[in-house]
Structure 1
Amino acid sequence: MTSDTNTPTRDPVFRVLDLTARACMTIAGIQLVTLIAIFGWLVFGRYVLNDTPTWVEQAALMLVVWITFLGAAAGVWNRAHLSIDFVREMMPPVFRIPLRWLAVLGVLIFAAYLAWYGWDLAEKTWRRRIPMLAIAEGWRAVPMAVCGVLSVFYSLYHLAMLVRGQDPAEL
């Protein structure tokens, strides 16, 4: 990213993490369009061809899981996850600064658990097959692990910003 007089130059770690978050949103967007298309096929098949495609429900469930977790990871990077920033930011600095740390640490801990247990769930369900899709059931848990790992990296970067005295909300 080139900088003008108002935009500071971003470090390489920022650029890589920002690129991964953008990739997550792009992939989730493509999956959302795919989800809409397969539901269109479902309606067409059911009401026009009188032959309901049976795989659509399982494919839709898989896509929804991927869309949700990829979007959640990008939300952690963009600090668009569930939080009530305006309450914290209205407080005096003596409360506001520790609450910023607490919020980032809370997300980091949750993300680490999500990565660990998402991977564990994927491993434990890998041998089963999803009906009508003939792929491993573990593919439903992989996005949990991916989201967790990405969110850990994003949170660590946010913590590094706090250590440097910067507010991650100013990304």
Structure 2
Amino acid sequence: MMQKMLKRVDRSLGFVEDWSLFIAVAVALLVAMANVVLRKLTPISLYWSDEVVKKVIFFTTYIGCSAAVRKRALIRIDALPQMVKGLKKPLTAFSHLAVLIFAVFMVRYGWTMTVSAWNDPFARTATLEIPEWFFYAVLPLMGVMLILRTLLVLIEDWRGLPAE
């Protein structure tokens, strides 16, 4: 029962990560390519394309953190555990704890920033006039996803399940 629920959460997070990252990068790529083509072939330039690309980089950086935990690809100390085998489990646990602490900060402060931008009617992007709270909302969302993903990895580690 518990195993099925964990698999469902894992698949759901994976679906959100993969598709949101795919769509965001595809949009940025299409907008950037359209801007280059238009600028080279016509006197038209999409003045807002840089803003779209910057916001996509912001989005993919934070949502990509969750995907990196899934793939066990976050930056961590791995030279020391290779030299001293007994340090692998404690350093892995420390790494997971550090990620969880970071994720809690992202939820707390990301929520505060989102609410602050929500309450500020002038907090809009420079060219597209999109409310900034929309982008700040990625921070607590990423924090929650990071917490769930890290807990799933911790459970895999404790149970001795192979990393996928």
Q: TM-score, normalised by structure 2?
A: 0.84
- Residue in structure 2 matched with residue 160 of structure 1 by the alignment: 155
Unaligned runs of 5+ in 1: 1-9
Say which of 105, 109, 123 aligns to 2:97: 105
Deviates more, 1:106-115 or 1:129-138: 129-138
Q: Within 5 A, what are the aligned runs for 1:123-142?
A: 123-126=115-118, 127=120, 128-142=123-137
| Root mean square deviation, CA, Å | 2.1
Which amino acid in 1 is paired with 2:56?
Answer: L
Cα deviation for residue 114 of structure 1 reads 1.4
SS class of match (2:80): helix
- The one-character-per-residue Cα deviations of 1:76-129 (angstroms, maximum 9, x if unpaired) are 122111123353244233x32222211111111111111211221122123311
Aligned-residue sequence identity (percent) comes to: 22
Deviates more, 1:104-113 or 1:21-30: 21-30
Is 2:47 aligned against 1:54?
A: yes
Contact 2:24 2:56 in 1 (8 A): yes
- The one-character-per-residue Cα deviations of 1:13-65 (angstroms, maximum 9, x if unpaired) are 13322331242122112211211110111112222221211121211111111
- Residue in structure 1 matched with residue 8 of structure 2 by the alignment: 15
- Residue in structure 2 matched with residue 6 of structure 1 by the alignment: none
How many residue pairs align between the two structures?
159
- Residue in structure 2 matched with residue 4 of structure 1 by the alignment: none
Q: Within 5 A, what are the aligned runs for 1:66-85?
A: 66-85=59-78
Unaligned runs of 5+ in 2: none
Contact 1:77 1:151 in 2 (8 A): no
Is 2:58 aligned against 1:65?
A: yes
Which amino acid in 2 is paired with 1:132?
Answer: T
Q: Pick the structure with more helix per residue.
A: 2
Alpha carbons of 1:24 and 1:88: their partners in 2 closer, same or farther (altered >3 Å)?
same
